[in-house]
Amino acid sequence: MPITKQRKSELVAEYAGWLRDSSAVILAEFPGVSAKDLFNLRVKLRETHSQLHVVKLTLFARALAEAGLPVPESMLTGSMIAAFVYDEPPAVAKVMVDFDSSLEPFKVKGGLLGDRIVDAAGVKALAELPPKPVVLAGLLGTLQSPMSQLVSVLQAPLREIAQVLKARSEPGLSAGQAAEASAVGGLPSAVGVI
């Protein structure tokens, strides 16, 4: 039974809403994939805060145009599913690429990252990116290292003064012995003895 015009309009609006809410869309062809395998893929994608939907090609192309996104005409062939990404695109790309490699009839065709068309190789490259927490930890380590070195450099003169004053305040030490005590402490004395 053919779809009515009203239902087609509803589907285009629904697709356009998913497109507007997502940061990326990964497209795949799934001829001959069982419902059980698609269910397992949906479960894995739910864990990455994304959704998998079977889309009608012409209506999906209309929704892309309505959402102001480029239409990847060469990818819109065959039986098509779309993974709408709401969180981290690399995590979703990894799930889709892993599913592609484990199941023969399933084939990742490409997708959209923001407003750019990405081919299948681009999706595979996206899947190889490290997770967001790992990238943030690396960035934090890179930023933190120079800061800790700066703090050490700024604290060195204060540490030297404190050592000289401590040595000077100890009873029975002369000025020369205080300077020696400061030098023995491991840091050269930058301040003359009073």
R_g over Cα of the chain: 31
Q: At which residue do the structure tokens 């009073």 appear?
A: 194
| pLDDT given for residue 63 in this prediction | 93
| pLDDT given for residue 159 in this prediction | 77
Both tokens of 121, joined, read: 């190789």
| Residue boundaries of the structural domains of the chain | 5-133, 149-194
Paired sense of beta strands 80-85 and 24-29, if any: antiparallel
Superfamily of domain 5-133: Ribosomal protein L10, N-terminal RNA-binding domain (3.30.70.1730)
| pLDDT given for residue 193 in this prediction | 47
| pLDDT given for residue 144 in this prediction | 72
pTM across the whole model: 0.68
| pLDDT given for residue 189 in this prediction | 47
Query: Chunked in runs of 10, what are the mean pLDDT values of the chain (194 residues)?
Result: 86 92 93 91 92 92 91 88 92 93 89 91 89 76 73 75 78 58 50 48
| pLDDT given for residue 192 in this prediction | 47
Can you say how many angstroms the Cα of residue 30 is from the centroid of all Cα atoms in its chain?
A: 27
